[in-house]
Structure 1
Amino acid sequence: MTEPRKTAFNSFLKDFAENVGKFHKGADVLAGIRDEDVDVGTTPKTLVMRRDKVKLFRYEPTVKRTVETPVLIVYSLVGRYTIADLQPDRSLVRSLLAEGVDVWLIEWGKPGRAERCLTMDDYVDDYIDEAVHRICRETGHDKVTLLGICQGGVFATCYAALHPEKVKNLVLTITPIDFHADIDDPAPDYCLLNIWTRSLTPEDIDRMVDALGVIPGEFMSSIFSLMTPMKSLTKYNVELFDNAGDKDRLMNFLRMEKWLADRPDHPGAAGRQWLKELYQENRLVEGRFELSGRIVHLRAIDMPVLNIFALNDHIIPPACSKALGGKIGSTDYTEIPLPSGHVGVLVSSKSQGKLPKSIVEWLRPRDG
């Protein structure tokens, strides 16, 4: 009986020694990395327009253009656009450029208390509209393709409904449309954000916005962390420890952490609409959501629509995205489910190639 125990203990000591060695090596690697070394959003681009804190960029082409209609990426106010250009080998932007797409992007900047009165009306009917006008002027096209991601997909959907004459194609990725479609979902663990948001009282939302002027980025980060508590608890010991000995993997980890830590504040008035009128009252899918004095009628969306969602999305359940199909006026509607999570659909190694390839293969026959 003593020999097996001795063997097991020796094995433990060997593993322990190897792990300690790996830790010291990883610590040396980590000590040599500076903040500027963890670079995100590095694909070359040109600033074309700036209004307030909002910027419009055009990315520099890398190959001959094969999709002529300019594509405007509209990202969320809840996070930074850099998740679409995290690093060279995990970049939706670079992949689209490599397929010959004319890529533009609207960046919201970092809103603060000075932007507390900005509403979704301002973002959709002012900033996006001005960006579309500028793109058309610069390129000679009379329409653009909108590529909306997450909350940015809701903005793009609203714009396409209110200004269909300016949108050639609408591409949505991980975008909520029916904010209550998850209520009868048999897997409620994928709907915790929706459940929590619907549980807030309107008065609580008003108190936070009235007091702070914004919904703090740190507050939203804590909510997302609580949705995956075990991962949040272990990533700085288990995951970081596992990656520490491999600099490439460590840099992948650090870039994602830099993006997560760079969560901007959300303008208060727009946040009120987002939480109360959409998450709680579900006005968009019910035809009761109003921007700039006009109802956003989904039936007015008459251009081709591509709707991409993640099957393992714990932030935007697939049912909330799929609801769009039966609500629009277009007969050219395509759904593509991807076996990924919410953020993974953009940056996971398994998703690289699938998302941009799906978009470009869908766009090309509709580019004429």
Structure 2
Amino acid sequence: MLSLPIDIQPKDAVKEIKEINDKITKGLEFLSNLKDEDVDIGTAPKETVYTEDKLKLYHYLPTQDDLLGTPLLIVYALVNRYLVADLQEDRSLVRNLVNEGLDTYLIEWGDPAPADKYLTVDDYVNGYVDNCVDFLRERHGVDKINVLGICQGGTLATCYAALHPDKVANLVLTVTPIDFHPGWDKQNPEVGLLFNWGKGVDVELMVDAYGNVPADVLNFTFLLVKPFALNFGKYHDMLDILDNEKAMMNFLRMEKWLFDGPDAAGEAYREFVRDFMRDNQLVKNEKMIGDRLVDLGNLTMPILNCYATADHLVPPHCSKILGEKAGTDDYTEMAIPSGHIGIYVGGKSQKMLAPGVAKWLRERA
């Protein structure tokens, strides 16, 4: 006779089923009355101070009187939107930076049009980023500004600082890939998987077929790195919070950010996958942008390198290698106990990342 390892009483099963049904009913009622505009993200007060083509440069309105004299420019990635840095009021990197007294600006790249498929990394680094830096230098009457890079935007910021060290006072990087060949971890096979895939993808065919690479294709790639957790697990776990409106709103804000990314400009995407991910030219000091070599030894300004200890997309050693390559004597690392996205939206990160960045910058003011 087969016996169950757990003694389940019928009355307990009925009670649990009723609780689940009540939770689902309440959750469906909440969701059915929800409008897209109710799921608000990117709400930190800001103004647009500079535009160029699709680009907008935002200035976040100060909340403190004691502002650091040197402005901070945030360079975000090209493959998704900046809004993860301002997901909600109590989980917002930009709000935290502003509240720490940093005069904060951020580049929003916008959505590339079909004609923008010809934009290159040179156009982004020596064009758009340099123009924003020059705008801020003139606006604030300073020779150099502080630059903070986020993920792929950190790679672009690193390239910019190496090419224009005379314009960057301090460089702050967060979960930034420098070495794109992380190797293979049998115990954690998903760690660094995105970069390992990038070495074999036929990016030439992809860009030739699409022009600008669609956001859905990019997002699908990210989801496949951890397919069960990111495609099934989170929706299974959502059942536990269906009757909690605050938790559901947090969940929906993240979903809105995840599934509302921009397309990627074709030539820049082709170049990034080929030169950075496949050939690993940046860490080898072989990457040319325009007619100039990106030499990491030219990074002579102070550097704060922030990485996430549980990052499955950018393993810590892919970021930390910069300490061996940069030419600065003032190099600092900050370890945040989180994952790749959690470094911006996690509860612990709110108390560590922005305060740590602000303290480090003020010590070098």
Could you tell me which residue of structure 1 aligns to residue 300 of structure 2?
302
- For 2:264 and 2:113, locate their aligned partners in 1 and report how far apart those are by CA, in whole Å: 8
Quick check: 1:299–1:328 contact (8 Å CA) kept in 2?
yes
Instruction: Find the partner of 1:317 among 315, 326, 330.
Output: 315
The one-character-per-residue Cα deviations of 1:253-312 (angstroms, maximum 9, x if unpaired) are 000000001111111111111101110101011111001100000000110000001111
Letter aligned with residue 248 of structure 2:
L
Task: Flag the 1:142–1:205 CA change in 2: closer, same or farther, 3 A.
Answer: same
1:249 paired to 2:250: no
Letter aligned with residue 237 of structure 2:
E
- For 2:318 and 2:186, locate their aligned partners in 1 and report how far apart those are by CA, in whole Å: 10
Mean alpha-carbon deviation: is it higher for 295-304 or for 62-71?
A: 62-71
SS of 1:69's equivalent in the other structure is coil
Task: Flag the 1:183–1:5 CA change in 2: closer, same or farther, 3 A.
Answer: closer
Could you tell me which residue of structure 1 aligns to residue 219 of structure 2?
221
Could you tell me which residue of structure 2 aligns to residue 91 of structure 1?
92
Could you tell me which residue of structure 2 aligns to residue 193 of structure 1?
194
1:6 is displaced (CA, Å) by 8.4
Quick check: 2:73–2:147 contact (8 Å CA) kept in 1?
yes
- For 2:183 and 2:108, locate their aligned partners in 1 and report how far apart those are by CA, in whole Å: 30
Quick check: 1:113–1:212 contact (8 Å CA) kept in 2?
no
Letter aligned with residue 349 of structure 1:
G
Could you tell me which residue of structure 2 aligns to residue 102 of structure 1?
103
- For 1:268 and 1:205, locate their aligned partners in 2 and report how far apart those are by CA, in whole Å: 10
**TM-score of the pair, normalised by structure 1:** 0.95
Quick check: 1:312–1:340 contact (8 Å CA) kept in 2?
yes
Quick check: 1:198–1:279 contact (8 Å CA) kept in 2?
yes
Report sequence identity in percent.
47
Letter aligned with residue 352 of structure 1:
Q
Structure 1: gaps of 5 or more residues: none
Could you tell me which residue of structure 2 aligns to residue 81 of structure 1?
82
Could you tell me which residue of structure 1 aligns to residue 45 of structure 2?
44
Could you tell me which residue of structure 1 aligns to residue 179 of structure 2?
178
Give 4+ residue runs of structure 1 displaced > 4 Å after superposition: 4-7, 183-186
**TM-score of the pair, normalised by structure 2:** 0.96
- For 2:62 and 2:87, locate their aligned partners in 1 and report how far apart those are by CA, in whole Å: 18
Task: Flag the 1:185–1:176 CA change in 2: closer, same or farther, 3 A.
Answer: farther
1:183 is displaced (CA, Å) by 4.8
1:239 paired to 2:237: yes
Letter aligned with residue 50 of structure 2:
M
The one-character-per-residue Cα deviations of 1:116-152 (angstroms, maximum 9, x if unpaired) are 0001100000100000111111111211100000000
1:7 is displaced (CA, Å) by 5.6
- For 1:314 and 1:340, locate their aligned partners in 2 and report how far apart those are by CA, in whole Å: 10
Letter aligned with residue 53 of structure 1:
K
Q: How many residues align?
A: 363
1:265 paired to 2:255: no
1:236 is displaced (CA, Å) by 6.3
Could you tell me which residue of structure 2 aligns to residue 166 of structure 1?
167
Quick check: 1:30–1:244 contact (8 Å CA) kept in 2?
no
